[in-house]
Amino acid sequence: MTNFVQAYESFMNEHKALRNGERLRRLQEGHGHAEKLFLEQIWWPAIGHFRDLHPEYEVKDFNDASRFIDFAYIRPPFRIAFEIDGYGPHMRDIDRWRFGDQLMRQNQLVLDGWKIFRFSYDDIFQKGRRCQQLVLHLMGRWYGERGEQTPPLLGRELDIARLAASSVSPITPAEVAGHLGIRPEHARKWLSRLVAGGVLRPARDQQRIRAYVLTEAGRRLFL
């Protein structure tokens, strides 16, 4: 199984090979420690691959000038921008013109149809699980019903699969019961159906199943 270091090197080399001029310079100089940390601590543990993700992605503003998004996730029908915000002296001392320019840049992206998520360096470093869960939640919400080569899910089965996709830890019958407002014994029946359908599997090999996680087929519903 490919580890992060191998996947990251391949990911960066692939994008460097496709660029030249200012776009290549921006990738080499703009992609730094904070951006790599986001991939290592948040994206890779949550998603497990870099497909459809583009580092230092070039966009045009209303003056037709080039701007760069830290990471662009481009997978129809959505375009999602991930921005990593540090809090160093350059951010504390930012002048009013630069501050206003950054807000207008974000407004322009929204008008152009982008969905924008911002992560602080401190949150990535100190609150990784929360950041992972947010990424998983947005994937489940916007791509959960568009998976390929996986069985169609409806109603409560889809709700349970979404819950599993948005959780960084295995889900339990009690959690499912509380989420759906049903009795725990009914939750176990729905979980058993998803196990039989190849969407979930027991979190551990044990005689009595206490928690569940998505299978690879189940993950493809959301990635």
Where exactly are the structural domains of the chain?
Answer: 4-128, 144-219
Cβ distance 108 to 186 under 8 Å? Answer: no
Q: At 34, which helix (H) or strand (E)?
A: helix 33-38
Q: At 182, which helix (H) or strand (E)?
A: none
Q: At 216, which helix (H) or strand (E)?
A: helix 216-219
Output the tens digit of pLDDT for each of the chain's 223 residues. 468 999 999 999 999 998 888 889 999 888 999 999 999 999 999 888 999 999 999 988 767 678 899 999 998 888 999 999 876 544 555 666 677 777 778 888 888 889 999 999 999 999 999 999 899 888 888 886 444 444 567 778 888 988 888 887 899 999 999 999 899 999 999 998 898 888 899 987 656 788 999 888 887 777 6
Q: State pTM to two decimals.
A: 0.65
CATH topology of domain 144-219: Arc Repressor Mutant, subunit A (1.10.10)
Cβ distance 179 to 163 under 8 Å? Answer: yes
At residue 56, φ and ψ (nearest 5 deg) are 45, 65
The neighbouring-strand residues paired with 75 are: 78
The neighbouring-strand residues paired with 123 are: none
Is the CATH code 3.40.1350 the one for domain 4-128? yes
**Strand pairing report for 200-202 and 114-120:** unpaired
Q: Alpha-carbon distance 81 to 110, whole Å?
A: 10
| Nearest alpha-carbon partner for 55 in 22, 23, 31, 90 | 31
